[in-house]
Amino acid sequence: MTKLAILEFPDPRLRTRAEPVTEFDAALQQLAENMLETMYSAPGIGLAATQVDVHRRLLVADVSQDNDSPHVLVNPQILTAEGTEVTEEGCLSVPGVFDEVERSERIRVRAQDVNGRTFEMDADGLLAVCIQHEIDHLNGKLFVDYLSELKRSKIRKKLDKERRQRAADAGSLRPQVPAL
């Protein structure tokens, strides 16, 4: 098992529209396992392949308290959606940012499992929100796209600043060897 690196906003690769999965092989199974490990260790309740720079239609989710209800959805499609609800969302690709987004309250989803078998599931509450958030990722969309341009530009500046600070910290921590 391997923890994968997560792309961060405004990385343009997060804007890629993922292609359908067509090969249900050992590599896909390995990718799903690695995505679950990456999600659990983050920690997060969902992860789309797009976020780990794999542009295929695959997502994982687990909204349980005990991390014992993993869902793996390949080529997911929302069949029906009902109601609306507003949830405070966050995203592993937009660290430290939380804001309200309106989405459908209940959804019915058709997807394939890692072996290519088609199934349908109903979701509501946080799982419904999470699946909609992850399918957005597969379409190159981020939750911050639902916010105002002003908020988005503030978020971009905040993340840029944090990245610059991290880079500077890493530089000053590097052992300084005397020049020859």
Label residue 63 left, alpha or beta by phi (over 0 means left) and psi (-120 to 50 means alpha).
alpha
91 vs 109, beta carbon nearer Ni ion: 91
Confirm or reject binding of residue 92 to ligand GNR (CB under 6 A).
yes
CA distance 119 to 12: 32
Among 4, 31, 46, 57, binds ligand GNR (CB under 6 A): 46
Is 82 catalytic? The answer is no
Among 56, 57, 71, 137, binds ligand GNR (CB under 6 A): 137
Among 4, 60, 91, 144, binds Ni ion (CB under 5 A): 91
31 vs 91, beta carbon nearer Ni ion: 91
| Interaction partner, residue 90 (Ni ion, ligand GNR, none; CB < 5-8 Å by kind) | ligand GNR
Q: What is the b/e burial string over 72-96, where b = at least 16 CB atoms within 10 angstroms of the residue's CB?
A: bbbbbebeeeeeeeebebbbbbbee
